[in-house]
Amino acid sequence: MTKLSLILASVTLIPGILPAAGQRARATPATADASWAKLYATDCGPAMKHPCPPSTNGYENEFTGDPRLVPLLKRSLPQRESWWVNGYGGSVPVSTIVQDFIGEPKDLFVDDDRYVTATGCVPHDCLTNGMLWIDTSAKPATVIFAAAVDVRSNQVNGAKHVWIYTSSKANTLSLPPNFLKHLPSWYQADINPQGSAPVALATLVQPNGRMTDFIFSTLLEQLNPPNNKQNAPGANQ
């Protein structure tokens, strides 16, 4: 037996090395696939045996409890933040923040049998809200998370800071139209239902952590041309 043959033979005898490598190769595509999320945004739920049409009556609690959600978030949103403490201390993975901010689910939608939008709030604190958006057809899935938190300043009491985290490089002009479509309703229903919580600050965070501040109303105006600006919620904020 040659020296090379001896080396190869010894490697194959080490328990678990080759199977583990194969398992990692299979696990990566699984976490990148989010087509399962659509099943929870139907009027009959994922447990039913027969096909059912998309509906706005989703199974929000089952969606947030699916064991595939956390791996998807960890793969898609590698950013870390220090503005959300909540007993963690130090910087917190954005994937953890998402779980907190939709920890008490509100709505779950699917559009075009493709785009899934989930909204919710922090348990026992529904003035702190989040919106998770997933393009389930993209490979890997495109994930965007938006969070609205109070601005800590005496000068802007009651105002909100909106954070938007993307799984791929983006700017405010390249955010997906379907994501933008749900921003006005999220703004009206969750961020500013009483009309007393304007968005004072907004920040877009890239996967590498790079931050860009912007005016929140500009996103709403992308859905409402200038001549219809008066119809955009928060357009004057």
Residue 20 lies in a domain: no
Residue 236 lies in a domain: no
pLDDT (0 to 100) of residue 73: 97
Dihedral through CA 77, CA 158, CA 191, CA 189, nearest 10?
170
What would the two tokens of residue 34 be? 């989010």
Enclosing H/E stretch for 136:
none
pLDDT (0 to 100) of residue 11: 37
Residue 8 lies in a domain: no
Residue 4 lies in a domain: no
Supply the pTM of this predicted model: 0.77
Residue 25 lies in a domain: no
The whole-angstrom separation of Cα 51 and Cα 139 is 24
Q: Which domain holds residue 114?
A: 33-231
Residue 148 lies in a domain: yes
- Per residue of the chain (237 residues), what is the pLDDT tens digit? 554 444 434 433 334 333 344 443 343 456 778 999 988 876 554 544 545 554 445 678 889 999 999 999 999 999 999 999 776 778 999 999 999 999 999 999 889 889 999 999 999 988 889 999 999 999 999 999 999 998 876 556 678 899 999 999 999 999 999 999 999 889 888 888 877 778 889 999 999 999 999 999 888 777 665 554 444 334 333
Number of domains in the chain: 1
Residue 19 lies in a domain: no
Residue among 163, 177, 168, 169 nearest 143 (CA): 168
pLDDT (0 to 100) of residue 188: 85
What would the two tokens of residue 145 be? 């998370």
pLDDT (0 to 100) of residue 85: 79
User: Looking at residue 212, what DSSP letter applies?
Assistant: E
What would the two tokens of residue 28 be? 């990566």
Q: What residues does 164 pair with on adjacent strands? A: 146, 204
The whole-angstrom separation of Cα 35 and Cα 17 is 31
With b meaning 16 or more CB within 10 Å and e meaning fewer, what string describes 17-44? eeeeeeeeeeeeeebbbbebbbbbbbee
pLDDT (0 to 100) of residue 232: 39
Cis amide leading into 51 (omega within 30): no
Residue 16 lies in a domain: no
pLDDT (0 to 100) of residue 30: 63
Beta-strand ranges (E) seen in 32-124 are: 80-81, 92-93, 104-111, 115-122
